Structures are given as structure tokens and as C-alpha cells.
Copies of this chain bind each other. A is one copy, B any other.
Amino acid sequence: MPDSNSLDAHLRQRAHQVIPGGLWGHLNAANLPAGYPQFFARAEGCRLWDVDGREVIDFMCSWGPVVLGHHHPVVEDAACAQAGLGDCMNGPAPVLVELAEKLVETIPHAAWCIFSKNGTDATTACATIARAATGRRKILVARGSYHGALPWCSPSLAGVTTEDRAHLIHFDYNDPASVEAAVDQAGNDLAGIIVTAFRHDMARDLELPTPAFAQTLRTLCDATNAALILDDVRAGFRLHLGGSWETLGVRPDLAAYSKAIANGHPLAAITGAEWLREPATKVFTTGSFWCGAAPMAAALATITTLHTLDAPTHLRTMGTRLRTGLAAAAARHAIPIRQSGPPQMPLMLFDNDPDFRLGNTFCTAALDAGAYFHPRHNMFLSCAHTPRDIDRAVEAADSGFSAVARVG
């Protein structure tokens, strides 16, 4: 239950005075069930403490960035050491070159990379580079896919003009025929196709891409000399270190990374194939902090550590353990649930729950019992999750299912 005397409630009141709606964007707790905290005091490994001292095992990882767990010592030491030398200077530090070489070595499609700060910086630069390279304008986008928060791609239309989206053509994820129709519609004006690593639209079951769908995108881009853009902002470095479509054998021409690339330090990256290198020099993309060296040092340490730990395997193992545990707990309470998506980024939805009343009830009770789940958005595993953490979270989930059984 939300407590109006809590420090969280007090901070929310103050925040409402000086921030529209109390908070902007995806971390606004107004989008979560009642009882979820807005403000956090501390983080360590896979654990968070809210400002009222409540400790939870976290399955959102700041909606993705924290892939190794909070305060990973190798990452923090690398960032601190670089910051002690210099961070925001009149040019980059040598770590820029080491990081760029590491990315090009790690990601098979990449001949080069550019760093920025937001996932949206990266997806937007990919679209712009595709247009610059082809001299064409149309970008194909899956209906409902999230590619960032600028007027061309934002899920809200407030302040957006028709012209901001004049050159988008939509298709349906995992529907090759709809892609073919969209390519036909683009005619000789097709610059590129942008696609998320899997279908992770909010509030519906996650869908992995079918091999036929992925191959169709590659074939159509090859046939038209358009750029296939993989938006790997959300999934990157969790499913496969070489890019999330490596297991499908389909390589993009451009890819956008952010979130997990530096374990929570602010960084994004565009990677590209050789034929897009020269066009990329023509596109002016920059920001005041894009050469900041400390986040690059954090990224180099993060990617090195992800390799050392074989992170995708660990995350899959932990995610599978969570999935198995949730399924067993739900079955004990005879509550029908659906689990979808890759185990590293799972989603659990309740059957017959159109308004998410059951999901919210589950999450609120599980939170009280010590696990921070999300009722509608895919969750995220981290390398800090141990079998013991998963098992304790499943116990918390059991409390959630009990609560659902009471209201259901």
C-alpha cells in the first residue's frame, strides 16, 4: 500500500512542483501499480533500496542498462581511473580507439562505429546515414515498435507534425508479406528498414523473429540496395554479444546500441558495414559529451567482462530458472499465465487480464515480498542474479500469485 507519510510520497510531492507530471518518460512510477516506489536510495548487484529503506531483488535493471549488476567493480574501477585522468576534454582519450576496436572485433557486421549518448541518437543516426547513403527517403518501421522518443518515432503524437513521419512506411513484425508490400509501396525511394531484435511492444506477448521474417528483410534490402537497420538498443549484449540476430544468421548493415553497453554509464553506439562508412562521414551527428572518456572506459570494461562471464548464457540460465519457477508457482495456485520472449528478457502476462488488474495485483504483492517485477513491459536479467536470488524472487512471486488467487 502506498504510504502518504513515506519519504517517497514526500519526494513525489516536491517533484510535482518542479517537474511536469512529477517525472518525464518511461521511469515515471505513475505508470506502475500503486505501491511502487518512484525514488531510489541505493543499488548493489541485483538489489535496489528505495528511499524508505525497502530492499528488492530487481528484474528491470533500470529498464536494461544494468547488465552486470550495479557497482560492478571492474566497470566502476575503469570508469573512475579514466575520470581521474580526464573525461570531457577537447577530444577523446585513447580509450575511444580501444573501445571502437573492441566493438568492431565483437560485432561481425561492423566495420566501424560512432558513439553517442541515447538509444534514440543511435536509431536516428542510422536512419539518417541510410538516407545519406542511398539518396532515398523511405524508412520501413514495424507497426507498434519502439525506436525512441523523437518526433519521428515517439509513441506520443503531442507536438509531432505529419511531416515528421512523412517518409515512414509500416509493416507488421514477423509478417514477410507485409514487408514486401511496404517495399513495393516505397518503390525506388527505399532507404532502409529498421527492426527491433525481437517484438517487444509493451503489454502484449513478446515474439521472437521468425527466421523467414529476418531473412526476408535481408533479401529485400540486398535486392534494393537499402540498409537493414537492427535496433538492438534494448536487447543488445544480452542475447548475443555479436548482435542479437547472429543466431539467425542475418546480419544488418547498421545497428543501434545503448542501454547495456556500459552497464549503466551513459553511452550509445552506431555500428555499420563498410559500404556505409563514407556516407557516415557526411552526416553531422554530435553532442557535447559524446567524446566523454569515462563512459567509454566503462563500456570497454563491460564488454570485456560480458565476454569473460559468457553473459548471454548466464542470463539465459537465470531467466530459464525464473521462468520455470514462475510456471510452477502459478500452477500451484491454478492461475493461468503466459510467459514469452527470450529468457534473458522475459515477460509474464495473466490470461483474461485485459486491464492488467491481475498483473498489477501480482506485482504489488511480489514487491511487498521483495521482488521488483513489471506487469506489462519485458523484464531484464543481469549477471548479478544468482540461483539463490532467483529462488527468493520466485518465493516473492508465490505471494503475488496468492494475492491474485484472492482477488481472482
Q: Are A62 and B288 touching (Cβ within 8 A)?
A: yes
A9 to B160, CA, bound (A): 45
Q: What CA separation (Å) do A389 and B82 show in the bound complex?
A: 25
Known: A124-B150, A160-B128. A91 touches B39 (CB 8 A): yes
Shortest Cβ gap from A43 to chain B (Å):
4
A58 to chain B, nearest CB (A): 7
Q: Is A78 an interface residue (CB 8 A)?
A: no
Q: Tell me the chain A residues, 283-306 only, with Cβ under 8 Å from chain B.
A: 283-292, 295
Instruction: List, in ascending order, chain B residues with CB within 8 A of A118's CB.
Output: 117-118, 121, 287-289
Point out the residues of chain B lying under 8 angstroms from A70, CB to CB: 86, 89
A378 at the interface (CB under 8 A from B): no
Tell whether A167 is near chain B: CB-to-CB under 8 Å.
Answer: yes
Question: Which positions 43-65 of chain A face chain B at CB distance < 8 Å?
Answer: 43, 48, 51, 58, 60, 62-65
Asked whether any CB of chain B lies closer than 8 Å to the CB of A90, the reply is yes
Cα–Cα distance between A277 and B19 once the two chains are bound (Å): 8
A279 CA to B260 CA, complexed, in Å = 32
Residues on the B chain within 8 Å of A94, using CB = 11, 39, 41, 51
Interface residues on A, range: 35 or more
CA distance A48 to B88 in the complex (A): 11
Of B14, B117, B279, B282, the contact of A289 (CB 8 Å cutoff): B117
Binary interface profile of A, 9-21, with partner B (CB < 8 Å = 1, else 0)?
A: 0010011011111
A25 at the binding interface (Cβ < 8 Å): yes
Question: Are the CB atoms of B282 and A264 closer together than 8 Å?
Answer: no
Q: A156 interface residue, CB < 8 Å from B?
A: yes
Chain B residues positioned under 8 Å from A14 (CB to CB)? 97, 101
A258: contacting residue among B11, B163, B258, B288, CB under 8 A: B288
Instruction: Give A167's nearest chain B residue, CB to CB.
Output: B161
Q: Of B96, B117, B282, B287, which contacts A156 at CB under 8 A? A: B282
Given A20-B114, A29-B91, A88-B62, decide whether A149 and B286 contact each other with a Cβ distance below 8 A. Answer: yes
Interface 9-residue window, one of A129-137, A217-225, A330-338: A129-137
A-B contacts, 19 of them at CB < 8 A, read A15-B100, A18-B103, A25-B286, A41-B94, A43-B85, A43-B86, A43-B87, A60-B90, A62-B90, A65-B289, A118-B288, A119-B287, A131-B160, A132-B159, A149-B287, A154-B284, A159-B283, A163-B166, A265-B289
- A interface residue numbers (CB < 8 A to B): 11, 14-15, 17-21, 23-27, 29, 37-43, 48, 51, 58, 60, 62-66, 70-71, 76, 80, 83-94, 96-97, 100-101, 103-104, 111-115, 117-121, 124, 127-133, 137, 149-151, 154-156, 158-161, 163-164, 166-167, 233, 258-259, 264-266, 272, 277-292, 295, 372
